[in-house]
Structures are given as structure tokens and as C-alpha cells.
Amino acid sequence: MELSSKAFQSNGVIPVTLSYHGGNISPPLMIRGVPVGTVKLALICDDPDAPGGVWVHWVVWNIDPETTHIPMGSLPTGAIVGNNSWGKAEWGGPAPPSGTHHYVFKLYALKESVALKPGANAKELEAAIKGNILAEARLVGLFSAAR
């Protein structure tokens, strides 16, 4: 399974327009190679370089496995959004306090749908999908505070 974006290459720089202070628009994402037997997809984007520990930017689940493209600034129909580290059920773009941070988009192919209510956080989603993952894909983007 593969996850990519037209907005930035893997390990490339995320555009300012997608950052928290530059437009706060979720990136366009392309999904390929979803394994047979996938019932739903889940997506988490986090920043493991945040000073206080991992900072979650986006939590989305119950994405239809037929989804091949998530347009910029939108969600797939029927997907459920959880709370990011700002406590909001939305995309929260990069906003590092200093230095260059890695933003890790993790896409999971799941054997079952996820029974969480909207607004659940990444830890709750990770607990709910444990033992339910068929495949995983990652896309890493970089963003620097000095922009």
C-alpha cells in the first residue's frame, strides 16, 4: 500500500499553505495498493519532534477502502474525524515552535470498521485498531519554524 501527495514529496517540504498559520488546509493525498480484504482505512498525522512529545495533527477513520484520492482541504464521504492535539476535530497544519519537524502521515488498512465516536483522539484510535491492521503506509513531510 502506498500513500503520496501532489503537494510534497516523501521527506520533502510541506507547503506553507498547508501549515497552521498559512491557510491550515489539509494536503491532497493519493492512496494506492489497498490490500484485498480491507474493510476501512484509518489515517493519523503526527509530529514526533514536538517538544512535549508526539503532537497529533489529524485523526480520520472509517475511510472507504475504494478511496484513491483525498482532495486538498476535504475528507472522503462518510469518514469520521477525531480530535487533534489542539482538541479540534479537524486538520491542524504544521506549526513547530522551532527547528525542522517531521510530519508522519500513517495510513492503515483495516479488517473491520472502527466503532469510535467522532472526536476520539489518536490514542483511542490506535487502541481500537490494534490487531485489526492488514497493511500500513507512511508519508513524511518536513516543515521548519523559520518560514
pLDDT digits (tens, 9 = 90+) for 112-135: 999 999 999 999 999 999 999 999
Question: Quick one: pLDDT band at residue 17, thresholds 50, 70, 90?
Answer: very high
pTM of the predicted model, to two decimals? Answer: 0.96
Strand, helix or coil for residue 128: helix
| H-helix or E-strand spanning residue 108 | strand 100-110
As a residue count, the chain comes to 147
Beta-strand pair 2-4/12-13: unpaired
Give the pLDDT confidence score for residue 145 in this predicted structure: 86
Give the pLDDT confidence score for residue 146 in this predicted structure: 67
User: Over the chain, what is the mean pLDDT?
Assistant: 96
Q: What is the domain partition of the chain in residue ranges?
A: 2-144
pLDDT higher than 70, residue 147: no
Mean pLDDT of 5-28: 96
The sign of the dihedral angle between the CA atoms of 66, 2, 144, 7 is: negative
Per-residue DSSP letter, 125? H
CATH architecture for residues 2-144: Alpha-Beta Complex (3.90)
